[in-house]
Chains A and B, each alone.
Chain A
Amino acid sequence: MRNPQGTRFERESFTGSDKKSRPKRADMGYIMGRLWGYLGRHRLLITLAVIFVVAGNLLQLLGPSLSGKAIDAIGNTPGGVDFNTMFYYAALMIVFYIISGVMAFLLQYAVQRITRSMSKSMRQDVFERLTTLPVSFFDSHQTGDIISVISYDIDTVNASFSADMIQIARSVITVVGSLIMMLTIEPLLVLVFVVTVPLSVLFSKYISNKVRPLYRKRSASLGQMNGFAEEMIQGQKTTRAYNCQGDMIEKFDRYNENAVIAYKKAEHSGTLMGPSVNFINNISLALVSVFGALLYMAGGIGLGDISSFVLYSRKFSGPINEVANIFGELQSAFAAAERVFRLIDELPEKADDEAAEVLRDVYGDVLIKNVDFGYEENKPIITDLCLSAKRGSLIAIVGPTGAGKTTIINLLMRFYDADSGEIKIDGKSIYGLTRESLRLAYTMVLQDTWLFSGTIFENIAYAKENATMEEVVAAAKAAKIHSYITRLPDGYNTYLSDNGSNISKGQKQLLTIARAMLHDSKMLILDEATSNVDTQTERQIQSAMRELMRDRTCFVIAHRLSTIQHADLILVLKDGNVVEQGTHDTLIALGGVYSELYRSQFE
């Protein structure tokens, strides 16, 4: 189905936060709360994870103190080694390290369990919400944007969430633990970090603030270059036809240069981080050794103590810098989470009325009375539409592109609701019926064929629960596609990939017609249903189409006026209004828009 001329919403991405109707989502606390909704389901695993983090890291922290004790036991003089004590501590070290390694692995296990299950639930929630969203949502959002929420954003949330949370927990424990250990060894030496820690925190913060917009720009300009390249390569034939390769290469070069410059800028700043962190660590080391040596001279500290202190100080300064980095990453995780929740919070199709009736035993009378509708406010597409279709009648809708033909279908099937007026089936207002029963009362064949990745059998059988092979074959025969299918090596089990890109447009349309043949209903909608079928085939399936249309109330949109000449009622739409209605003969006699349209075929 073509896009309606206007859409109820401007095309928007999920990042904007300017929707009036919704509370502000950028609120960090709110997002944390929502995330806890997913996390909270795994309380046991979380508790275990916390235990593993704390225990594992505490054991790791004891390592340097044990090794310090072991070195102290070795002492400074040949022959003076206290082997018993040394072995005792060495054995303890190995036991502790192995236990802490096992803990680290168990932690991985718990965290991966949590993350994978979280992303699975989030993906399922997003998808299930998608399936309940009104058609207007898909008319106003790009598929690529939706997909990037489901794949990229959810991944970002969970990847950085799990990794960062562990990292933060671990860092906090390491920092606090090593600080305590260092304090127990020699409080005076800790003073070194009063200088280096704030220094590195400030520096990391400065760098990440500076780098973040640069990285954003880097991805954006790379995205633009990729977009341009994609366009150009797809339109290669045209470029060649007009021999403007040179011009296009020049344009590409501009995108290319932009991307490279943005990359260079971001990297120039980004590359400061690693060496600088390393630098601050080295400086701490230098300070520790100088002051350590001085203290040793003053007799306040043993050599083993200096050794442990050095090891602790390495542990200590690492995480501080990392945490600064992580906060930057968490920012992007929050931004991603915001997009995910924004999609989950999209308003679904309004629920059916509680009193909504299930449409049963349809007879097939359709009545449209005084219907007004516009996709955007104050931009009416249809005004005061009236129409009565008796069971089994054929209603044709014609008019130039953009006149609102497809809109009528949208209203009949409640893909959109009319702004005012009444639509009735067998005398019952469609707004008092369940959407499901209303929609199932129609069979629909659209111009844009829709096939999913699956076998030909599955694609035809889609219209009917538990359809048998016999039924599917019968439908395919009626749609004149059976013999083509049987000639395929895999017959009905042929796998269609990528919206059936491995078969021709015409054959795709025949498959959707076969699908429609399987669906038993009293009303039929054909929106340019045979536009992709060549005329010979169209003639061949004419009898099948007649069979499809028999005893059903049919709404037909067509460019080829020949197909609708015998319609019971022809509606001529122009700029959203029915400007003429009647049979072919009366409209030709009228000599208005229809007769002009009709004549233009032969000009």
Chain B
Amino acid sequence: MKRVFEYIRPYRWAMILGLALKFIAAMFNLIIPSLLEKIIDEVAPKNSPGEVFMWGGIMALCAVSDAVINITANRMATTNTSKVTLNIRHDLFAKIEGLSSAQTDKFTIPSLISRLTTDTYHVNDMLVRTQRLGVRAPVLLLGGIIIALTMDAVLTLVLIGMLPVIAIVVYIVTKKGIPLYVKCQKILDRLVLIVQENAVGVRVIKALSKTKHEQKRFLDVNENLAGTEFKASLIMGVTNPAATIVLNIGLTLVIVVGAFRINSALTEPGVIIAFLSYFTIILNAMLGITRIFVVISRGMASADRIAKVLDAPNEEIALLAEKETEAGDENYHIEMEDVSFSYNGIENNIEHVSFKLKKGQTLGIIGATGSGKSTIINLLMRFYVQDSGVIRINGKDTRTMEPNEVRKRFGVAFQNDFLMADTIRENVDFGRNLDDDAIKSAIVHAQGESILLEKEDGIEHRLTLRGANISGGQKQRLIIARALAANPEILVLDDSSSALDYRTDAKLRQELKKHYSDVTSVVIAQRASSIMGADLILMLDDGRVIGSGTHERLYVTCPEYRDICDTQMGGVANA
């Protein structure tokens, strides 16, 4: 909550002004029923139509002022809050973009998304509503009570006596109702999950004729949901009738007590009539305040979640001074020396990995799922920092370089990489302001020429969310084109070939050799054929290098590697 106040501070005077306006408007609104009392009790008996009109006019004036000031204040509230929200969202997004990979892992991606979307919206909602109702309701409540007190203290006490009863009703109902709503939300999540599973698994379900089974599964959850929803809304439904009964009993009591007081000449009938109007105002204000409590408690929870991200420590990795590090051989472009790393600090994900690569050479990495292939890339690009060992680029320890200085040398196509809902150009360019020719030729080299020919608008063609309007193979080609487009120093292809068929894959490799011969490449693959031609191949198993060398050498020295080649290529690869 403190963090959110920092965003409010620049607008505090504007907000205070708005609140002051709200206060004034509420005052005007409060005066109206007392004017009514005046007309009936004082003016009417005087038999002076002129005065009636005058007081009526004043009433109308109050009504106009209330409306105009209120609208102005509401608009100010919206404008100020918009600015606050704009800034919060900007900072939050910028912060998220700057989180380290380890921090992102800790928050988890879905949670970051919901903080940026749902939570900022809740905070916005809270700010607007508290500005609009936050002053009006308490002012109406307090002001109403004060005016009522001046009119008739005893009758006011009758009225105040009713408030705790309503408060208790609202408290009990919310206390019971809210957990039920939370439960509904959870059941609804399950319901949505079943629909999702059925949409995705339609072929399997139809193949196994499980339609009836799925319908039954849905029915169970559906019934559970309907039942819980019924309970929740029934409990919530108690509030209004109960509050109305209490309100009206109070009203009757005011009349009864008022009768005694009039009888003893302690008050006048006009007072009672006006009193009834105040009564409605006060009780509505009371209900308004309870509503604000719900909004504020939800908004506070969201503000907390946002603050957690904003307050996350900046990715402050102390850069090592160059003299503290041991320089490597400058003849090697990339070098890893005895590197070990663990994501969770318990179990090493890679252990004692070493290799050296000259400029223009290709490194192939192969191994089972989870053997640590992608981890090597994560360390090379400094998404994570190794626990021990040294990584050098051009002989320089990467720990002495800013992460961006390391990353700008790379062009990379990740496993499950993403495309945005934007043009092909934007997807390949990716904010680097490349010229059209560079973009087009990168696409052509990545074997994506057919995409450009197929789409009438060429690189201006807009992709839909996650590139759903092009095929898996085409997506992969654009992602590779992105990696190639800026003529990187180092090219990283993480399992990019699995979405391509053998022929396209082979052609791609030829193109790379032809046009990017001075680019140092790191290629991760499932297929031995994709990396057979590499200058150096690492065979990984459970985070360790169990074989390294060229294909010919590995085929002889590493039985696991030979196994892979034999199963994948039917024993013809030893030729």
Contacts and interface: CB of A to CB of B under 8 A. Distances in A.
Given A94-B252, A113-B230, A244-B431, A282 B63 contact: yes
B342 interface: no
B195 A297 contact: no
A104 B241 contact: yes
Interface size class of chain A, counting residues whose CB lies under 8 Å from the partner chain:
35 or more
B113 interface: yes
B325 interface: no
A101 B245 contact: yes
Given A101-B241, A105-B238, A74 B208 contact: no
B56 A117 contact: no
A443 B444 CA distance: 41
A538 B567 contact: yes
Nearest to A96: B248
B328 interface: no
Interface string A121-159: 001100110111001001000110011001100000000
A87 B256 contact: yes
A278 B203 contact: no
Contacts of A304: 269
A529 to B, nearest CB: 13
B39 A249 contact: no
Nearest to B91: A249
Given A229-B116, A290-B53, A307-B273, A282 B252 contact: no
B510 A603 contact: yes
Scoring A272, A399, A562 by chain B CB atoms within 10 A of each residue's CB, the highest score goes to: A562
A484 interface: no
A565 B567 contact: no
A256 B200 contact: no
A286 B63 contact: yes
Scoring A71, A83, A109, A287 by chain B CB atoms within 10 A of each residue's CB, the highest score goes to: A71
Nearest to B32: A282
B503 A244 contact: no
B344 to A, nearest CB: 15
A275 interface: yes
Interface stretch (A324-332, A386-394, A444-452, A547-555): A444-452
Interface in B44-73: 44, 47, 49, 52-53, 55-56, 59-60, 62-64, 66-67, 70-71
A400 B259 contact: no
Given A71-B269, A101-B244, A536-B563, A230 B204 contact: no
Interface in B215-241: 215, 218-219, 222-223, 225-227, 229-230, 233-234, 237-238, 240-241
Contacts of A222: 121
A119 to B, nearest CB: 7
Nearest to A452: B197
Contacts of B381: 241
B407 A303 contact: no
Interface string B180-195: 0000000010111111
B322 to A, nearest CB: 22
B196 interface: yes
A127 B218 contact: yes
Say whether chain A's binding surface is mostly helix, strand, loop, or mixed. helix
A402 B473 CA distance: 9
Interface string B418-449: 10110000000011100000000000000000
B71 A272 contact: yes
B56 A290 contact: yes
Given A499-B200, A602-B529, A241 B412 contact: yes
B290 interface: no
A102 B211 CA distance: 45
B573 interface: yes
B226 A120 contact: yes
Contact of B502 (A249, A310, A505, A559): A559
A583 interface: no
A560 B418 CA distance: 26
Interface in A451-485: 452-453, 462-463
Contacts of B109: 233-234, 236
Contacts of B191: 123, 150-151
A294 B44 CA distance: 7
Interface stretch (B9-17, B82-90, B152-160, B296-304): B82-90
A439 interface: yes
Interface string B382-413: 01000000000000000000011001101010
Contacts of B367: 534
A474 B549 CA distance: 41
Contacts of A556: none
A370 interface: no
A237 to B, nearest CB: 6
B500 interface: yes
A275 B502 CA distance: 69
A401 interface: yes
Given A2-B472, A268-B75, A401-B472, A289 B244 contact: no
Contacts of B53: 290
A257 B83 CA distance: 9
Contacts of B498: 531
Contacts of A274: 70, 74
Interface stretch (A177-185, A208-216, A359-367, A593-601): A593-601
Scoring A130, A286, A293, A453 by chain B CB atoms within 10 A of each residue's CB, the highest score goes to: A293
A401 B199 contact: no
B465 interface: yes
Given A239-B97, A260-B82, A271-B71, A249 B90 contact: yes
B324 interface: no
B504 interface: yes
B501 A146 contact: no
Interface string B541-564: 000000000000000000010011
Contacts of A307: 269, 272-273, 276
Given A267-B78, A282-B66, A401 B473 contact: yes
Given A71-B255, A603-B510, A245 B98 contact: yes
B568 A562 contact: yes
A603 B63 CA distance: 86
Interface stretch (B170-178, B260-268, B330-338): B260-268
Contact of A499 (B98, B197, B206): B197
A297 B44 contact: yes
Given A97-B245, A234-B418, A235-B420, A462 B97 contact: no
Contacts of B32: 282, 285-286
B529 A601 contact: yes
B1 interface: no
A229 B93 contact: yes
A573 to B, nearest CB: 11
A75 B263 CA distance: 9
B409 to A, nearest CB: 10
Interface string B290-315: 00000000000000000000000000
Nearest to A133: B202
A70 B255 CA distance: 7
A561 interface: yes
A456 to B, nearest CB: 16
B567 A535 contact: yes
B563 A535 contact: yes
A229 B473 CA distance: 25
Scoring A132, A246, A307 by chain B CB atoms within 10 A of each residue's CB, the highest score goes to: A307
A268 B128 CA distance: 12
B571 to A, nearest CB: 8
B327 to A, nearest CB: 25
Given A227-B421, A235-B417, A402-B473, A310 B273 contact: yes
Contacts of A263: 78, 82, 124
8 contacts: A3-B471, A98-B245, A116-B229, A117-B226, A127-B194, A279-B67, A401-B473, A596-B503
Given A285-B32, A601-B502, 11 more contacts: A83-B259, A86-B259, A123-B218, A256-B89, A260-B85, A267-B75, A296-B44, A413-B207, A436-B209, A440-B208, A603-B509
Please name the 4 residue pairs, one residue from A and one from B, whose CB atoms are nearest each other, closest first.
A247-B431, A78-B265, A290-B56, A244-B431
